[in-house]
């Protein structure tokens, strides 16, 4: 399977929070989308890995995602090491995405910002022609499988920045997708339904809905739309036609 857009995140439900509307919008435009979750959520205060696996399937259905998989990297221990880079690089070669969405490289949760650097370096490794074909690189099953696949690097890497207070490079209008994007997140009943476990940490359902609405409204306001999701790119943008720039100045 070739994927147009692949979102890589540390935990099941991270993508739904940060770029789920963008993935749904892409799918509605006929593009193939995928989600690679690095962990299975076994360290979560609420629910089990089995709960989150079922809920992730339902969320993927709502977002019309063509492919979704979770790796076996330990939850709470997402580390930027050789073994984990190879696991992700194998997925990059198998799926051959043109665009990869990563978490922003700063944030509160170590798994999130480590995923950002880990994902970037895995994208780079996936493009090395001789990766897995020399004595130095022999070893794991992932590496042997990767060595049989042609090299590939995504054309574009962008960063979903909702978890961190930074001015976005651009936003994606998700006005038409906002309600279903909210549904995809709240499909994680083990995480977001009102319950005693974690009640001092997790907000109530009504507050979650209000937060989602407020954040999407804020980023939409920056671009003159109702709801939007923010992204950062490291590269300078290129404009071919000044008359086609979509956000007005005054």
Q: What is the CATH number of the domain that holds 147?
A: 3.40.50.10320
197 part of a folded domain: yes
Residue 231 host element (H or E) = strand 228-232
For residue 96, the model assigns a pLDDT of 97
Cα distance between the two ends of the chain: 45
pLDDT at 136: 56
Q: Is the residue at 250 inside a domain?
A: no
Does 135 fall in a domain? yes
Q: Please determine, for residue 137, whether its predicted confidence score (pLDDT) is greater than 60.
A: no
Q: What is the pLDDT of residues 25-51, one digit of tens each?
A: 999 999 999 999 999 888 777 778 899
Helices (H), the chain: 14-18, 20-28, 49-62, 82-95, 110-126, 141-147, 178-186, 189-192, 205-223
- The whole model's pTM is what? 0.92
In a domain, 152, yes or no: yes
Residues 109, 226: Cα–Cα separation, whole Å: 29
Q: Which of 167, 157, 166, 173 is nearest to 235 (CA)?
A: 157
Confidence class for position 190, pLDDT limits 50, 70, 90: confident
Q: What is the 3-state secondary structure (H, E, C) of 46-113?
A: CCCHHHHHHHHHHHHHHCCCCEEEECCCCCCCCCCCHHHHHHHHHHHHHHCCCEEEEECCCCCCHHHH
Output the six-digit token pair for 208: 């979650």
- pLDDT for the residue 47: 76
**Is the model's pLDDT at 141 over the cut of 90?**
no
pLDDT tens digits, 53-99: 999 999 999 999 999 999 999 988 999 999 999 999 999 999 999 99
By the 8 A CB rule, do 212 and 204 touch? no
Residue 229 resides in a domain = yes
pLDDT band at 199 (very low <50, low <70, confident <90, very high): low
**Distance between CA atoms of residues 13 and 57, nearest Å:** 11
Taking residues 96-122, report their average pLDDT: 96
pLDDT tens digits, one per residue of 152-175: 999 999 999 998 999 999 999 999
Determine the 3-state secondary structure of 11 from DSSP: coil
Boundaries of domain holding 49: 5-244
Query: What average pLDDT does the segment 125-152 reach?
Result: 81
Q: What total of structural domains would you count in the chain?
A: 1
Mean per-residue pLDDT for 181-210? Answer: 83
Assess if residue 129 is contained within a domain.
yes
Residue 228's H or E segment, with its range, is strand 228-232
pLDDT of 138 strictly over 60: no
> Could you tell me which of 92, 113, 91 has the C-alpha nearest to residue 164?
113
User: Residues of the chain with pLDDT > 70: what percent?
Assistant: 97
Q: Does residue 119 form part of some domain?
A: yes
> Is residue 249 domain-resident?
no
């Amino acid at each position: 399977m070739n994927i147009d857009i692949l979102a890589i995140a540390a935990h099941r439900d991270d993508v739904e929070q940060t770029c789920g509307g963008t993935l749904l919008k892409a799918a509605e435009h006929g593009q193939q989308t995928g989600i690679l979750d690095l962990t299975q959520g076994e360290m979560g205060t609420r629910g089990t890995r089995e709960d989150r696996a079922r809920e992730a399937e339902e969320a993927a259905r709502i977002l019309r995602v063509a492919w979704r998989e979770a790796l076996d990297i330990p939850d709470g221990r997402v580390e930027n090491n050789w073994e984990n880079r190879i696991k992700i690089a194998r997925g990059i070669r198998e799926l051959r995405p043109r665009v990869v969405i990563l978490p922003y490289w700063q944030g509160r949760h170590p798994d999130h910002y480590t995923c950002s650097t880990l994902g970037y370096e895995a994208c780079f490794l996936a493009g090395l022609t001789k990766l897995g074909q020399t004595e130095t690189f022999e070893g794991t099953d992932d590496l042997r499988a990767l060595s049989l696949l042609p090299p590939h690097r995504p054309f574009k890497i962008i960063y979903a920045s909702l978890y961190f207070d930074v001015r976005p490079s651009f936003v994606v209008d998700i006005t038409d997708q906002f309600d279903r994007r909210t549904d995809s997140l709240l499909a994680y009943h083990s995480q977001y339904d009102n319950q005693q476990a974690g009640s001092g940490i997790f907000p109530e359902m009504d507050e979650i809905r209000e937060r989602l609405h407020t954040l999407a409204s804020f980023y939409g306001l920056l671009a003159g739309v109702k709801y939007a999701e923010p992204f950062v790119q490291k590269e300078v943008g290129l404009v071919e036609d000044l008359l086609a720039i979509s956000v007005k100045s005054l």
